[in-house]
Structure 1
């Protein structure tokens, strides 16, 4: 039987990056769908299946004889070539270039096969029209027919729905169902909603690694898959309304302002002449290697570091030590870290974890008004965990727990949310889930995000500025850039 089989393989990409495929097998008659967001490595994956990028380690076997790829990029190149051929003084204004039939045949003489696929794709009436006069959806079907006339035994379709309206996408999904009866298919999309009902197998790609794959019926039963599918559809769903008026900060006052801050212990300098201003509505990614000083910087921002008093440190417009209490500072912040998660040992119910956020407590030790219980359930519904409300917190997966703790920090809509390595300890699936929720929080609230991570792939899309600890000969320099 024809197949592509990959076992524990890494494929070498540009700039020493690698595509990781623990195992993958597509056989004759299969219809696979690979889902991956922008930058996940979808194009590299399709090239790896074709055998067009080098195998760094592991096993790659291919017994298909004629793999063909169809992509949005391929369509763009052909359209550009058609335009160049027309944009020529020697071409008559009445000459509109190749017809759709000539484009499909592309030098071949197999008219019968052209007519066969034109009928299958529903484009017979377009064959004698100039290719350049066709719509985006029509020209894409013509180019797919061109690919099919070459009689592939494995057809890879990379983002064929890109740029099409909803009706065209539905037509294409029905078309792929018919194609799946004739050839092996590998469809690559960036949305769960684009998975055709006829697909038999599903894989999930994230940051150049296959993180989930298998039989569709089994994959769709996994709670993490359902959670990710929900997250995609919930991107534009508003958050529950706040139970009380949110804190309003001065609109033009920097939330954090540090001037030439130096923190040291004996002869060891941790921060050296650090100057940094964080304005409202800026979402910062704080990055740098372990030991650079990220945790020390956070302890200054949260008001915990004792050496703040001997430096110029203004938090929410007030010099540290000018009379404000530590609780006044912390009331303006939500804070979550992987360490806090590790230390969260109270095994209360999932619902009580959310409720505790309203009381700034670990666990619930007082009578809870019915209105707060209703509000907490609204938050659980928003993150698709309402069915687990009565479950013990520690019975949830690690990713669900992290999602719950971030939600707990947001229920009072703090002006600032600090997430310190929020993806640490999570696998690829749960990293994707938590990142998606962080973007949703920022999109639907006025809360400012400070996101700390030393992993380049961790940053959510909402980031507007980067603060980076860059190593130099004696310590670090502090590089601040707008995204």
Structure 2
């Protein structure tokens, strides 16, 4: 049983859009020092659930508590400053991003802006240079965002998020659509950086192999609810995952990561 007060709490959260219920009663708590992978099939509502943290979406019913506050009872701008996001929601700023160079985008994370509107001091520039090196972006520092590959863009946006001193880092399918090489570059850099910080992490994916060693917990969202949540070793089991994917699977742990195998004769 958790002794400390949870930093994030979903209580009986229901979300409905266009007459369709996407979330049907989510209960979930995230405590200090925990780093979660949120798993679920496509369309299960993972992104919707996490978009409630910065109040980009609102529960139809139920309550979301973030850092001890409930939306409507506290200035949510102060909450947003404590959350750093990497998600498809950034696509709405694509025209602005495309006009910027890599270094400007990464540095802007410190100021919680899309684009750089003030001269960064020497300390911020040094941290930006370190983050570029961490994500293998130094040689791209002066390149425009629009000229980058998809993998390079993801690394830039992840580096930008980590420039933000926010306590909570939300990574919403950061490796989606990347090829294996691009994915592994991103995940390796992320693992190295997470070893040097105490940020809370929520990592959304439907690919188990993206769950790096820094992840401590896992939750499974299915049928609109959190079906299972806890330490990753207790949640990521053959039985639980076979039920999630509706086929017989086995799991191997190699290099601290789970790798899924689909058993033959699953027809």
Q: TM-score, normalised by structure 1?
A: 0.44
Give the aligned partner of residue 228 of structure 2: 479
State the shift of 1:466 in Å. 1.2
Give the aligned partner of residue 321 of structure 1: 72
State the shift of 1:284 in Å. 0.8
Give the aligned partner of residue 444 of structure 1: 196
Which digits, 9 at most, give the CA deviation of each residue in 1:164-188, with x for residues without a partner? Answer: xxxxxxxxxxxxxxxxxxxxxxxxx
Give the conservation status (yes or no) of the 8 Å contact 2:111–2:164.
no
- When structure 1 is superposed on structure 2, of 282-291 and 298-307 the one drifting more is 298-307
Q: Mark the CA change 1:272 to 1:371 in structure 2 (over 3 Å): closer, same or farther.
A: same
Query: Helix, strand or coil for the counterpart of 2:186?
Result: helix
Greater RCO, 1 or 2 (C-alpha within 8 Å, sep 6+): 2
Which digits, 9 at most, give the CA deviation of each residue in 1:44-99, with x for residues without a partner? Answer: xxxxxxxxxxxxxxxxxxxxxxxxxxxxxxxxxxxxxxxxxxxxxxxxxxxxxxxx
Q: Mark the CA change 1:477 to 1:388 in structure 2 (over 3 Å): closer, same or farther.
A: closer
Counterpart-to-counterpart distance in 1, 2:135 and 2:210: 20
Which digits, 9 at most, give the CA deviation of each residue in 1:426-472, with x for residues without a partner? Answer: 1110111111122122211011110001122222222211111234x
Counterpart-to-counterpart distance in 2, 1:256 and 1:477: 14
Q: Mark the CA change 1:253 to 1:343 in structure 2 (over 3 Å): closer, same or farther.
A: same
Question: Which residue, 142, 145, 151 being the options, matches 1:399?
Answer: 151
Counterpart-to-counterpart distance in 2, 1:261 and 1:470: 14
Counterpart-to-counterpart distance in 1, 2:47 and 2:103: 30
Give the aligned partner of residue 425 of structure 1: 177
Q: Mark the CA change 1:352 to 1:267 in structure 2 (over 3 Å): closer, same or farther.
A: closer
Question: Which residue, 210, 219, 226 being the options, matches 1:467?
Answer: 219
Query: Helix, strand or coil for the counterpart of 2:52?
Result: helix
Matched, 1:349 2:101: yes
Give the conservation status (yes or no) of the 8 Å contact 2:37–2:204.
yes
Query: Helix, strand or coil for the counterpart of 1:335?
Result: strand
Gaps of 5+ in 2: 233-267
Counterpart-to-counterpart distance in 1, 2:131 and 2:145: 15
Give the conservation status (yes or no) of the 8 Å contact 1:259–1:275.
yes
Question: Which structure has the bigger radius of gyration?
Answer: 1
Which aligned pairs between 1:125-140 and structure 2 lie closer than 5 A? none
Q: Mark the CA change 1:266 to 1:375 in structure 2 (over 3 Å): closer, same or farther.
A: closer
Matched residues, number: 228
Give the aligned partner of residue 82 of structure 2: 332
Give the aligned partner of residue 365 of structure 1: 117
Q: Mark the CA change 1:342 to 1:454 in structure 2 (over 3 Å): closer, same or farther.
A: farther
Query: Helix, strand or coil for the counterpart of 1:285?
Result: strand
Which aligned pairs between 1:110-129 and structure 2 lie closer than 5 A? none
Matched, 1:413 2:162: no
Give the conservation status (yes or no) of the 8 Å contact 1:338–1:424.
no
Q: CA RMSD in A?
A: 2.3
Query: Helix, strand or coil for the counterpart of 1:356?
Result: helix
Query: Helix, strand or coil for the counterpart of 2:178?
Result: coil
Counterpart-to-counterpart distance in 2, 1:480 and 1:373: 40
Give the aligned partner of residue 305 of structure 1: 57
